Amino acid sequence: MLFTNLEHVETAAQHKEVIENNENVMICCGRMGPMCVPVYADMEDLREEYKNVKFYDMEFDIPDARVIRNAPECAGFMGLPFTMYYKNGKVVKATTSIQSREEIEEILKEVF
């Protein structure tokens, strides 16, 4: 499990439930490494400003993280974390590697 203050997605079934039952979802799939931790921290802060978005993390190394690791939108991604943005159950954006708060906010405004 990731040691963040975000809600955790731990299974493929839970991933499916989260994206199907929430209109706007951001899931950051990574580890507790130097490229991932700043993204989690920004997500924790941004959830207060973006009440219309559900923010989650998912541990990259668990078997069920294949739903993100193997997603066509992530083909060719090299750096962690893999971050997925879903609207009404569909992927609307996917990013790789560290993102600044400003970059995340730009995406949130664009897709949600």
Q: What is the pLDDT of residues 3-28, one digit of tens each?
A: 999 999 999 999 999 999 999 999 99
| Domain 7-111 annotated CATH 3.30.43.10 | no
Q: What is the mean pLDDT of the chain?
A: 97
Tell me the pLDDT band of 49, cut-offs 50, 70 and 90: very high
Locate the DSSP E strands across the chain.
Answer: 7-9, 24-30, 54-59, 82-87, 90-96
Q: What is the pLDDT of residues 92-105, one digit of tens each?
A: 999 999 999 999 99
Cα–Cα distance for residue pair 75/70, rounded to 1 Å? 7
What's the predicted TM-score (pTM) here? Answer: 0.97
Q: How many Cβ atoms are within 10 Å of 10's Cβ, its own excluded?
A: 16
Per cent of the chain over pLDDT 70 is 100
Q: What is the pLDDT of residues 53-94, one digit of tens each?
A: 999 999 999 999 999 999 999 999 999 999 999 999 999 999
Domain ranges of the chain: 7-111
Are the beta carbons of 15 and 84 closer than 8 angstroms?
Answer: no
Q: What are the two backbone dihedrals, phi and then psi, of residue 100, each rounded to the nearest 5 degrees?
A: -80, 165
User: What pLDDT score does 1 carry?
Assistant: 82
